[in-house]
Structure 1
Amino acid sequence: MPEGPTIVLMKEDLQKFTGKKVIKADGNAQFEKAPLEGKILLEIRTFGKQTYLVFDEFAIRIHLLMFGSYEVDENTKPDRQLRLSLNFKEGAVYFYTCNVKRVDLEFLSGIDWEADVMSDGWNAEKAKKKLKSNPEMMVCDALMDQDIFSGVGNIIKNEVLFRIGVQPESMLGKMPARKISELITEARNYSFDFLQWKRDFVLKKHWLAHTKKICPKCGNKMIKKQTGLGKRRSFYCETDQKLY
């Protein structure tokens, strides 16, 4: 599943259509496409792993899920995969194998934009309060909780926990305040590192924990285990990461 930094890159790719009129809309998403035609794309907003194409009376929410993708100015995939296409005078965008939904503008006002780790409005203090209110939650689940760290996915989770030296099954209530602060700081820091490495096509070269078999610090074997309520893959070192 694409993580927050990848969605930011998608927004950048689509930015040229902001302020432009939709000439034609198509695709097999389950809503009427005709009302999009003639509308101006006023703004593109991202919230974690979600993208919102904002028009004057409604917005279109795009969630790429596990296998979704998009293309700009070319359509190379089968029609059965095409959820939505928007044609502008200046080009076109195509969304495939993803969740596409029309939402009203009031829906946007209910989003906690301050939970997005890549947003200028990111609120670290609010994240800290949410973490403190869940002492029985595993830190691996906390990082993947989109209400706390919107945009963080499994790669970021594994790398952040390696950076701060904490095992994924640690309980929030047992972690020192210092480690909670490091968790919050590095969730944002790593997300921006991820963004830059993704731009430079070198992301995997910088992985220290995710999918690794040997710890780059001590040389011991890395543990691979499904952890937390979500049973997502975790990669960690029992020597260099502490269990709280």
Structure 2
Amino acid sequence: MENYLMPEGPTILLMKEDLQKFVGKKVLTVYGSFKIDKGILEGKILTKIRTFGKQTYLVFDHTVIRIHLLMFGSYSLFERKDQANNLRLGLTFKDGGMYFYTCNVKSVDPEFLNTIDWKADVMSDEWNPTETEKRLKSNPKMMICDALMDQDIFSGVGNIIKNEALFRAGIHPESIIENLPSKKLKEIITEARNYSFDFKKWKKANVLKKHFKVYHQKNCPKCGAEIIKKDTGNGKRTSFFCDNDQKLY
């Protein structure tokens, strides 16, 4: 699988699929730089793995471990000696292990899972586009580039998905939400989800980069014009867009 930086929602779902084989299995050993009473996890059964956007929750009977890969985090199903200094948490089982590097690891109360709005996850079965539209309209002055990166609105969307979904919808990243026609607002909501699933499919097949239309590209695939690279919105995250094919609203 491509080792792409800045994990996004689809990357996390692929990680979940890799780790799923350990659900129902007993933890044998716990190590890494994450400070925790090892007794909380050693000998305990991993009952479930849940994901919310860019976050992964390893669920045990009396505790939950939250993993956030941040911008440069990674995971492996085998211990990487070259990353030994960056190991935050390693869990071994009878038939293998899971190892998390350069990431944020936190122990949370199982009740915390009940406070998460799972409908905000663009790749969840509970995803609610109508609710998402309401949240966008409640932030009328926000640029759409900022809204797409807001994890309370589009949980799981990162910079790649933001840029590619906006290109698909023909929307300039600096467009203001209240200026977007209703049809366009619905379209970007749909494309944020659609591109997320395409991202997952392409990344699993190691061909994600081949499908980029604007992200780190030089010329627009539609008109041939030079792709503009600019830090946009309050978040000042890099946007890649075509002035000809993406309308500023």
TM range (shorter): over 0.9
Cα distance in 1 for residues equivalent to 2:41 and 2:59:
11
Larger mean Cα displacement after TM superposition, 234-243 or 24-33: 24-33
- 2:165 partner SS: helix
Q: How many equivalent residue pairs?
A: 244
Deviation at 1:34, TM superposition (A): 2.5
**Corresponding position of 1:95:** 100
Query: 1:206 is matched with which residue: 207, 211, 214?
Result: 211
- 2:65 partner SS: strand
Write out per-residue CA displacement over residues 189-217 of structure 1, whole angstroms, 9 at most, x where no aligned residue: 00000000001110011100101111110
Cα distance in 1 for residues equivalent to 2:191 and 2:203:
17
Cα distance in 2 for residues equivalent to 1:213 and 1:167:
17
**Corresponding position of 1:186:** 191
- 1:77 partner SS: helix
Deviation at 1:30, TM superposition (A): 2.8
AA partner of residue 199 (structure 1): K
Deviation at 1:66, TM superposition (A): 1.1
**Corresponding position of 1:235:** 240
1:30·1:101 contact (CA, 8 Å) conserved in 2? no
2:26·2:46 contact (CA, 8 Å) conserved in 1? yes
Cα 1:220/1:78, change in 2 over 3 Å: closer
**Corresponding position of 2:175:** 170
Larger mean Cα displacement after TM superposition, 179-188 or 23-32: 23-32
Task: Give the alignment's TM-score, normalised by structure 2.
Answer: 0.96
**Corresponding position of 2:76:** 71
Deviation at 1:243, TM superposition (A): 0.3
Indicate yes or no: 2:202 matched with 1:197: yes
**Corresponding position of 2:161:** 156
Deviation at 1:67, TM superposition (A): 1.0
Deviation at 1:58, TM superposition (A): 1.1
**Corresponding position of 2:149:** 144
Indicate yes or no: 2:235 matched with 1:221: no
AA partner of residue 197 (structure 1): W
Deviation at 1:75, TM superposition (A): 3.0
Indicate yes or no: 2:53 matched with 1:48: yes
**Corresponding position of 1:8:** 13
**Corresponding position of 1:124:** 129
Deviation at 1:80, TM superposition (A): 2.1
2:83·2:101 contact (CA, 8 Å) conserved in 1? no
Structure 1 runs of 4+ aligned residues shifted over 6 Å read none
AA partner of residue 206 (structure 1): H
Cα distance in 1 for residues equivalent to 2:57 and 2:81:
23
Cα distance in 2 for residues equivalent to 1:201 and 1:47:
23
Structure 1 unaligned blocks of 5 or more: none
1:209·1:215 contact (CA, 8 Å) conserved in 2? yes
1:62·1:100 contact (CA, 8 Å) conserved in 2? yes
Write out per-residue CA displacement over residues 21-57 of structure 1, whole angstroms, 9 at most, x where no aligned residue: 0011111113222210011000000000000000001
Deviation at 1:229, TM superposition (A): 1.0
- 1:22 partner SS: coil
1:63·1:100 contact (CA, 8 Å) conserved in 2? yes
Deviation at 1:69, TM superposition (A): 0.6
Task: Give the alignment's TM-score, normalised by structure 1.
Answer: 0.98
Structure 2 unaligned blocks of 5 or more: 1-5
Cα distance in 2 for residues equivalent to 1:203 and 1:118:
17
Identity %: 66
Write out per-residue CA displacement over residues 52-107 of structure 1, whole angstroms, 9 at most, x where no aligned residue: 00000110000001111111033333432110000111111111110000000111
Cα distance in 1 for residues equivalent to 2:86 and 2:78:
17
